[in-house]
Amino acid sequence: MRDPSVKAALEAAKTNEPKTLERQLQVCAIAAPPFHETARGIELQRLFSNLGLKNVHIDKVGNVIGTRPGAAPRPNLVFSAHLDTVFPDESVKVMREGSLLKGPGIGDDCRGLAVMLATIQALEEAKVQTPGTITFVADVGEEGLGDLRGMKALFNETMPGQIDRFVSVDGNGLDIVNTGVGSMRYRVEFKGPGGHSYGAFGMANAIQAMGRAIAKISDFQVPANPKTTFNVGRVGGGTSVNSIPTEAWMEVDMRSTDVGALKALDAQFLAAVHSAVDEENHRWNNRGKVSAAPELVGLRPAGQTPDDSPIVTTALATSRALGLVEGLREGSTDANVPMNMHIPAITIGGGGSGSGVHTLSETYDPTDSWQGTQRAVLLAIALAR
C-alpha cells in the first residue's frame, strides 16, 4: 500500500464508485437467465475491450475472457464474476429508489460484475504493473441448473492447467468464502399405466409412490457437522382429481461441505426412491407397476481452501490493511470448482449491503460500497505476484 501506483489505484477505486454504481445498474438492465446470458456477455465483452484488456473473447460456453498482462505470464490470477441471474427475461427491471438500487440480480451478481470492471479501471488509471498476469472472466451458469458450467468449462477446456489462483466477486458484503458447499440435484420421474380413479382402482399410483419417497426423505438423519441438508423443492404430475396419474415428478436438492457426507446422502436418497416404488407396487400386488427414473441434473463439487493457505491469509491481511471487518464462511459459488481441484480459490463480497437476494424485490444499499471495490483492487494486486 506504500507503493505510489497502488495508492493511486485505491484512490481511483473510491473516486470512481459513482461510475461503478452506474455500471451496476447498466449491466443489470440486460436480462441474463441461465443458458441465455449472451446479450449481457456481449456488453461485458465491449466493456472489457474499452477498459484496455487484451485478447478479449468469448469461449464456446459463453464465458467472456480478457487479459491484463503482467511482467510475466505466471502466476496467472483469474478474477471473475458471474453473468447470470435466476430470473427470466421478462422480469428484469432495475431502478434507483432514493439511495437504494433495486431490481432482480442487482446484488447477485451485478455488484460482482461492476466491482470487477471497477478493478480493471483502477489498475489501468493508476498504471499498476503486476509481476503476474490477471485474467478477468465474466462467466455463465453459476445459478441454479446452470450447474457451474462456465467454471467447469474454464478450468477443464478453455484454460486447463493455466490458472494458478482464483477469486470470484459475488454479491455484497465483505466476507470471504473459503469453503465450498457441494450439492447434488435430482429430477425424479415416476411413471405408471394410470386409469380411472374408480374403474381402475387397485392400480399402482405414480403420485402415491412419489409421496412414499418424500416421506422417506423427510425422515433422513443427517450430520450437523459437517452441515448436510436435503430439500424436496418442486413436485408435479397427474391430469385430474379422478384419474390415477400416469406420471409424477419431483426435484430434490442435497448439500454438504463434505464430499463423503454428500455421497452417503446420495446413496440413501436413491435407496429411498427405489424402496418407495417397490412398496407402492407391492401394496397393489404389482398391478400396473410404477417405475422411477432419477436423473442427476446438478452437481456442484464440494471443496475447501484451508484457513492458513496463502490466498486466504492474504485476503484477510488485505481486509485488515484497509480497516475492514474480516470473516470466513462457507457458500456455494464459482470457487467450488477450483477448490475441488485443489487450486487456491476464494470468493469475496463486493461491499455494500442488500436484501431480497433471488427475489424480484432485491435491493442494494451502496453505503460505503467503495470499501468493497478497494478491497477487490488491493487483493488483485496482492495475488498477481
pLDDT at 326: 73
* pLDDT above 80: residue 383: yes
* pLDDT above 70: residue 112: yes
Q: What is the pLDDT of residues 32-86, one digit of tens each?
A: 998 999 999 999 999 999 999 999 999 999 999 999 999 999 999 999 999 999 8
Strand partners, 176: 328, 348
Domain ranges, ordered by start, for the chain: 4-180+302-383, 182-298
Burial label for 283, CB within 10 Å (0-12, 13-18, 19+), is middle
Whether 182-298 and 4-180+302-383 are alike in CATH topology: the answer is no
* CA distances, 12 to each of 71, 250, 379 (Å): 22, 50, 15
Cell of 190: 415416476
Can you tell me which residue has the cell 450437523? 224
Q: Which CATH architecture has domain 182-298?
A: 2-Layer Sandwich (3.30)
pLDDT at 26: 96
Ramachandran angles phi, psi of 88, nearest 5°: -70, 165
Q: What is the pTM of this model?
A: 0.90
Cell of 201: 382402482
Ramachandran angles phi, psi of 192, nearest 5°: -155, 175
- Per-residue pLDDT, averaged over 300-329, amounts to 95
pLDDT level of residue 193 (50, 70, 90 thresholds): very high
CATH number of 4-180+302-383: 3.40.630.10
